[in-house]
Amino acid sequence: MKLRLLLSLAVVAFAVTRAVSAQAFELGVVAFQMSSETHARVANAVEAAARKKGWDVVVLNSNGTLQTHAEQIENLVQSGVDGIVLAMSKPVEFDAQMQEVKDAGIPLITVMSGASPNALFDIQVNEYAVGSESALYLLGQLGYEGSILTDRFESNVGTRIRGKVLDVVLSENQAVKEVGSHSMARTKSWQEDVRNGMNALIMQNAGNFDGIWASFDGQAFIIDDLLKQQGMQKGDVVLVSTDGGPETFRRIKSPDSMLMATVAIPFEAMGEAAVDAMQKIAVDGAAKETITSGPYLYMQADLVDQSNVDDFIKE
Amino acid sequence: MRDFIAKYGTALAGLLVFVFLLVFARNFASTANLLNVLKQTSFLAILATGFTFALLTSELDLSFANLASLAAVVTGGLIAGGTFWGLAVVAGLGVATLGGLVNGLLVTGVKVPSLIATLGTAAIANGLTFMMTGGVAFVGRWDPMFLALARGELFGIPVLVIVMVAVVFSAWFVTRKTRLGTHMLATGEAQEAAHRAGIATRRMKLIGLTLSGFAAGIAAVLLVANLSSASPQMAGDYLLNGIAAVLLGMTMFEPGRPNIAGTFVGALIISVLANGLVLLGAPYYLQDIMLGVIVIASVSVSASVLKKAAFSV
């Protein structure tokens, strides 16, 4: 008897919870790889901003696997969420799934993914501008001559563009030579990939490089630690990267770190912008064009070095 | 009663989960969602079916996910390079089958334990995928006929589901209704006795591991067609899920013994849970936790009746 009563209460409580939550706007968020700090920062910012509005949020992680990402988008469509935000997705690979989202009438906003005809727009920074800022900073610090090592990542459109822009800058400034390059290939075990690849490059080119260009900050942290293990000190080598974040700013300020500068991408602001846009379009009924007329909503990325890092740490 | 629970307890638990989701998970019961679950199960079920063949002969295949990734990259790379998709599919299937055959030869010919041999081929396959791609996926808007292999429908039923049913049924038929299946099972159950009875046990192991590779090839081709892209580690996530499906399968129908029906239901339970958790609004980390719980629970349940040497390492 007691058990029956308890079970009945549990069912009623569950049904009430579902009924209450069913009134709120439901947002589905899929991050391509939560083990990557930037993906997590976007997803967490979206979740926080949505919860602040009283929305229900389900955050999913694709573990860096294409099929898992596809399945999670499909599952969100089936669950009937009111809106979807994808962080660091791939519009070409997931063309079919994004089409399903559109066909289901669910507004879709992507962040740092690239434009898709099936999404409202993609929240981005101008990667060409970001790439030129970090490349020119590095060359400026070297006085436009010397040797550099690079750590690239070709699988992500943003990091690939940064690398291509670096190549353009180097082609115009031929007194700076790229004496070694590692290209990160693995997405699931990328830290190990960077550690092994860059360790070999640093050993092979010991004493023969003045700067290192990393395609994103996660790589730069590993490189920074490798350089410290080699006994290097701040100023021995100019290390630049892109992304920003508390750990990056701490290293830029630290007297022990080789990291000199980053181009800080406002991942948290991007997540918040996605939620704000979802509110305006999906809840308030505003036209997409009131937010951006094109396939992108661009946000500002700032170069951060010793001169202004305190401003960012304060934030 | 105890026998009934031992045989059908896991399947009943799965059924209870299914009923729970039917009642409480919004849209779970819709036809579109149930077909969606079946489609998502197909890749896992096919890969796990292959792994079951290897395990039937008491050998492990830890390379099936990497072989599938390699086959995917070969298929996608050839299509992206302009090769007719039919040939690319044959090449993908061929590469994965060859990988399985190499595993079999290493185990039966060179006498390398399957755990070590397949770990080695997994690493080689992984390296080859990166050598061929440089880490960059082959992506394209490919021939609709090829994409239809995964995205198409026949009489309203997704092709993926039809292929999965065909693979699982064929595997079940081979293992339960043919002499080959009987010999494979005998090899796995009591290798020495089977050998003395005149069964070519080494050949059975070779066939088991080769079939595991072949199944990886089928799953790879379907994955490429589903996403119109091929990237290294494309099937990487399926290693743990595949093992979990087979282990779960070993807790039902024929407790302690790998069996195709159990594997299929195991794969289905994993997919239903993944889908159901999303529909219930559960956070992403709960999916990983649930998978870990399933692996531990299924091994715990089957450990008391585990007859296979492979998992007693």
Residue A285 phi/psi, 5-degree rounding, is: 80, 20
What ipTM goes with this model? 0.80
pLDDT tens series, chain B, 313 aa: 667 777 888 888 889 989 999 999 988 999 999 999 999 999 999 999 999 999 999 999 999 999 999 999 999 999 999 999 999 999 999 999 999 999 999 999 999 999 999 999 999 999 999 889 877 788 887 899 999 999 999 988 999 999 999 999 999 999 999 999 999 999 999 989 999 999 999 999 999 999 999 999 999 999 999 988 898 888 988 998 999 999 999 988 888 889 999 999 999 999 999 999 999 888 888 888 887 888 788 777 766 655 544 444 3
Note whether B279 contacts A: Cβ–Cβ < 8 A: yes
Quick check: A16 contacting B, CB < 8 Å?
A: no
* Nearest residue, CB atoms, B275 vs list A75, A96, A187: A75
**Count of pairs with CB atoms under 8 A, one residue in A, one in B:** 111
**Minimum CA–CA partner of A28 in chain B:** B281
d(CA A118, CA A95): 8
pLDDT at B302: 66
**Which residues in chain B have Cβ-Cβ distances shorter than 8 Å to A185?**
130, 133-135, 232
Say what the pTM is.
Answer: 0.82
Tell me how many degrees the CA angle B98-B99-B100 measures, rounded to the nearest 5.
Answer: 90
Provide, as residue numbers in chain B, all residues whose Cβ is less than 8 Å from the Cβ of A74: 36, 40
- A contacts of B236 (beta carbons < 8 Å): 65, 188
Which 3-state string (H, E, C) describes A46-60? Answer: HHHHHHHCCCEEEEE
Q: Are residues B43 and B294 in contact, defined by beta-carbon separation less than 8 angstroms?
A: no
Are β-strands A146-153 and A211-214 bridged in parallel, bridged antiparallel, or unpaired? parallel
Asked whether the beta carbons of A277 and A109 are under 8 A apart, the reply is: yes
Determine contact: A42 vs chain B, CB below 8 A. no
Interchain contact B134–A (C-beta under 8 A): yes
Residue ranges of chain A with per-residue pLDDT less than 70: 1-23, 186-188, 314-315
Could you tell me if residue B252 is left (phi over 0), alpha (psi between -120 and 50 degrees) or otherwise beta?
beta
3-state SS, residue A118: coil
Q: What pLDDT does A193 receive?
A: 87
Angle between helices B31-56 and B238-249 (to 10 degrees): 80
Say whether residue A181 is in contact with chain B using an 8 A CB cutoff: no
- Note the pLDDT of residue B312: 46
Q: Which of A215, A220, A279 is CA-nearest to residue A247? A: A220
Q: How far is CA A80 from CA A111, A230, A279, B31, B136, in A?
A: 21, 54, 17, 14, 33
pLDDT for the residue B297 = 81
Query: Within an 8 Å CB–CB cutoff, is residue B233 touching chain A?
Result: yes
Average pLDDT, chain A: 90
Going by C-alpha positions, the residue among B66, B97, B56 that lies closest to residue B249 is B56
Res A39: pLDDT: 93
Distance CA B297, CA B243 (A): 13
B40 contacts A71? CB cut-off 8 A: yes
Q: Which two tokens mark A38?
A: 């930037």
B272 CB neighbours in chain A (<8 A) are none
The whole-number pLDDT of residue A294 equals 93
Cα–Cα distance list, A224 to A151, A189, A259, B269, B300 (Å): 12, 18, 7, 45, 45
Whether chain B has a CB inside 8 Å of the CB on A106: the answer is no
**What pLDDT score does A20 carry?**
46
Q: Which residue in chain A has the smallest CA separation from B139?
A: A93
**SS3 of residue B25 by DSSP:** coil
